[in-house]
Amino acid sequence: MCPFNNTTHHVSPPRISPTEWAEPETDDHNFTLLHSFWYITGALTLQGAGPHPKALSGRVVSAIWWIFAVLLLACYFANFNCVLNSKSKHISITSFEELANQDVIDYGTIANGSTMLFFKNSNNPVYRRIHQHMERKKSYVSTMQEGVRLTQEGNFAFIGEAVSLDLAVARSCKLTRAEELISMRSYSIGAPLGSPLVKNLTIAILQLSESGELTHLREKWWANSCDGSDEAHTSEALNPHDLRGLFLLLGLGLGIGLLLALLELLSRARNRAKDGKKSCCSVLTSELNRRFGSGPEGTEQENSDKIKA
């Protein structure tokens, strides 16, 4: 029994095609709205849900929907697998404690530099572990450029001064710097004791700072222009526009199926019009009324025509 009455209808190729639904007055229509939802749900879960369409138009729509469902699931699982692999291979390190507690990424600093001496002479257990690791692995580098190159090659973290690292990050979109800072130090300009240059340099630096020239120079040379690139690399979710080809295929398939169903119904109407010596338009209108809400009226008119004949 159909769960919907005669006032609830949906437009679909199986409902229009005479091969699928030859006699609306006597035959039960298998593809009701409820069964259509059940059929497409079965396709999404890759499970068959009968009965299957018999007409060419219904089979085209069914095949297109199955292809759409398989490709959609394939895209989803492929993207899901890439996300899992990306998260498992890339470790996000935000502090020196996290760096010391892992053994996947190697790390080092400039040999015999101030940073190395800081870790060597520190009483902090985490910093001492970092120094012991660098001594054991001999992961020191000779220059800043070598440390940046090893970091760009991957699986290496370079420890250095924040100002120098910020400049390297600003010039290379493949690099990023952790937010944690230790051993904050300032830069100064040295001069002989009692030299008049000290006062002049102090006044000049203050003037540059108050005028905003120092801020302008920092933004000019340390500005990072890789914000868009970082977002492109971190965004791995599927977007609707990435699947526009699949939805275009689905819409094209539905359009072809509906066109085939209309052609099947038009062919049936022409044959009936030829046999009954009536106009094709009147027979086609009667067929559509029988399928979409005016069944009794269409049936009475056809029976009256047969009686007159």
113 and 31 co-located in one domain = no
Backbone angles phi, psi at 247, to 5 degrees: -70, -30
CA 41-42-44 angle, 5° bins: 65
Q: Give the pLDDT score at 306.
A: 44
Rounded to whole angstroms, the Cα distance separating 309 from 305 reads 6
Residue 293 corresponds to which tokens in the numbers above? 């809400």
Asked if residue 298 is part of any domain, the answer here is yes
230 and 100 co-located in one domain = yes
Task: Report how far apart the first and last C-alpha atoms of the chain are (Å, whole number).
Answer: 35
> Residue 130 burial (CB < 10 Å; 0-12/13-18/19+)?
buried
Number of structural domains (the chain) is 2
| 257 Cβ contact partners less than 8 Å away, ≥ 6 residues apart | 13, 57, 58, 60, 61, 64
Q: Give the pLDDT score at 157.
A: 92
35 and 60 co-located in one domain = yes
Cis peptide leading into residue 51 (ω within 30°):
yes
Residue 145 corresponds to which tokens in the numbers above? 């450029």
Range(s) of the domain holding residue 104: 96-189+207-234
Q: Give the pLDDT score at 295.
A: 45
Asked if residue 138 is part of any domain, the answer here is yes
The CA–CA distances, whole Å, from 172 to 78, 80, 165, 236 equal 30, 29, 11, 21
Asked if residue 194 is part of any domain, the answer here is no
Backbone angles phi, psi at 250, to 5 degrees: -65, -45
113 and 227 co-located in one domain = yes
Asked if residue 145 is part of any domain, the answer here is yes
251 and 171 co-located in one domain = no
150 and 73 co-located in one domain = no
Asked if residue 106 is part of any domain, the answer here is yes
Enter the pTM of the model. 0.44
219 and 293 co-located in one domain = no
Residue 225 sits in a domain whose CATH number is: 3.40.190.10
50 and 128 co-located in one domain = no
Asked if residue 185 is part of any domain, the answer here is yes
216 and 272 co-located in one domain = no
131 and 254 co-located in one domain = no
Asked if residue 196 is part of any domain, the answer here is no
101 and 128 co-located in one domain = yes
104 and 225 co-located in one domain = yes
> Which parts of the chain sit beneath pLDDT 50?
1-10, 88, 228-235, 295-309
Q: Give the pLDDT score at 64.
A: 86
Asked if residue 3 is part of any domain, the answer here is no
Sign of the Cα torsion 170, 175, 181, 185 reads: negative
